[in-house]
Amino acid sequence: MTWRGVGVPLIACAIFLAFWEWLVWVNGWPNFKMASPSDLWPAFWRFRDLFFTMGWDTLWRTVVGLLLAVAFGVFLGMIMGLSRVMRDALYPLLVGFNAIPKATVVPIIALMFVGQHDFNTILMAFMISFFPIAVSVSIGLSTLEPEYRDILRSLGASRATIFWKIALPKTLPEFFGALKVSVTLAFIGTNLMEIVSPHGRGLGALFDSGKTNSDYPLMFAVLVALAILGIILYYVVVLLEKIFAGWAERPAS
């Protein structure tokens, strides 16, 4: 990874934190109205054991939900990308489902699966993150140039060969682009379940505890911890993209 890939994001984060600190200072906001970055480290340190424990709870459930979303999204995208009939049939259903605010779905899931906290949280992370993957794979497969199919068929290639050698690799740039979006959505789904349907586990529960006790530095510290986990998972996806779809990356200007 180049200096630009590491240094520029770090400088951007430092500028953002400095602006945040200045904004709180210039307005004279107390920490019960808006916590500043200098208030966050004491909160992190005071609850460091809880941050590691509950951060791990949030992370592993988010990753499991995201992996399920990848598997289901790729499968659904393949069906829609290879069949015009299935694409016309499933797109309205997917759009309608994705338009439903997921915060309204949380109580329904909690009532349907009472006590299954890990399952509920993983399910919400899955439900909120598979849509971009399914759509991207579908678009990638459905826009495959017919000339490729004709040339390969004239050379004796089967439909399975065309799919594995041409169609599927072609969707990789779109797939990883959608996966970067799904990473953040999966964290949103996880924390929706942890906050709306609390069960004492995960960073969402720690945030809810801070809200109950009016500990605003703790609440903001949880938000920053979630952002850090999201950034880490995002760069894992970037690394995978460079490994499997680096050929599609344009040279930086």
User: Residue ranges of the domains in the chain?
Assistant: 35-246
Determine the angle formed by the axes of helices 37-46 and 216-245, rounding to 10 degrees: 90
* Sequence-separated (6 or more) residues with CB below 8 Å from residue 201: 54, 57, 117, 194
Identify the weakest region by mean pLDDT among 22-26, 87-91, 244-248.
244-248
* Mean pLDDT of the residues in the chain: 84
Tens-place pLDDT, residues 174-220: 889 899 999 999 999 898 888 887 677 889 888 888 888 888 889 88
Question: Can you say how many angstroms the Cα of residue 180 is from the centroid of all Cα atoms in its chain?
Answer: 6
Are 237 and 179 spatial neighbours (Cβ–Cβ below 8 Å)?
A: yes
Q: What digits encode the pLDDT tens for the residues 73-108?
A: 989 988 888 788 888 898 889 889 888 888 888 888
pTM of the predicted protein model: 0.85
Task: Estimate to the nearest angstrom the gap between the alpha carbon of 241 and the chain centroid.
Answer: 15
Half-sphere exposure of 250 (CA within 13 A, CB side): 2
pLDDT of residue 210: 85
Distance, C-alpha 163 to centroid of its chain: 27
User: Can you tell me the distance from the alpha carbon of 45 to that of 217, in angstroms, rounded to the nearest whole number?
Assistant: 11
Task: Identify whether the C-beta of residue 142 lies closer than 8 Å to the C-beta of residue 173.
Answer: no
Range with the poorest average pLDDT among 23-27, 29-33, 202-206: 29-33
- Judged on CB neighbours under 10 Å (0-12, 13-18, 19+), 61 is buried
| Amino acid identity, position 166 | I
Could you count the other beta carbons within 10 Å of the beta carbon of residue 9?
Answer: 12
Q: Which CATH class is domain 35-246?
A: mainly alpha
